[in-house]
Amino acid sequence: MITKEALQFLEDLIANNNTEWMHANKKRYDNYKKDYHNFIASILAEMKPLDKSLEPLEVKNCTFRINRDIRFSKDKSPYKTNMGVWFTQNKFRKNSPGYYIHFEKGNSFIAGGVWCPEADELKKIRKEIAFFFEELETIVNDKTFKKEFVAITYDEINSLKNAPKGFEPNHPAIEFLKLKSFTASQKIDDVLFTDKDFSKIIAQKLIALKPLNDFLNRALETED
């Protein structure tokens, strides 16, 4: 669970998103960081027995910096006011499949899969889908998966309008093949983060993504 102190820190940061306030509240930030790391450790302890590929992960592999990259953003607020956690199936690959937890007041969710793979990675995933699309359909239609995640995300931003190069428009997996990212997500209530059994509850939800992650990971490990 997230401590009340950590939540209050994020709440106060929303109203005081500037370096002066952060410097004046350095001790609070240090305590927040400890709570953040303990939060990750508790979830990781629940996830590792369920997905052995996570075994090499340490807390430091699952964190995000609180500083925002504002170089190309109109919003110059220097700090993130959300808490993110990322469990990757392969910490040595830049864009490996994994599991994501996001706390943001009024916009909390869990997710997983592969986000915006590079061109060569995308080619591998599409090739795997083309040959094993029935397997992917079985994964996303499984009752356990559908209980926790509505479906792989389809939208105008995430999907091509037409069939990608090299694939027929009438391919039975065409909607999967049009995708540019391969993720599934589900909104969750902020209150859940303060439940004393949060780590166990969230691990059971996230593990529903394992078959999808394994499918994507297999694709990325294939040789061209």
**Per-residue pLDDT tens digits for 127-148:** 999 999 999 999 999 999 999 9
Give the C-alpha separation, 18 to 13, whole Å: 8
State residue 210's pLDDT score: 98
One-letter amino acid at 87 equals F
Rounded Cα distance between 95 and 158, Å, is: 16
**Using one digit for the tens of pLDDT, what is the confidence trace for 83-136?**
999 999 999 888 899 999 999 999 999 999 999 999 999 999 999 999 999 999
pLDDT value at position 224?
A: 62
Mean pLDDT to the nearest integer, 199-215: 97
For position 209, what pLDDT does the model report? Answer: 97
Rounded Cα distance between 81 and 73, Å, is: 16
Domains in the chain, ordered, with CATH?
Answer: 4-221 (3.30.930)
- Whether 111 and 202 have beta carbons less than 8 Å apart is answered as no
Mean pLDDT of the chain: 94
Q: Which residue has the higher pLDDT, 213 or 155?
A: 213
pTM of the predicted model, to two decimals?
0.94
What pLDDT is stored for residue 196 in this prediction? 95
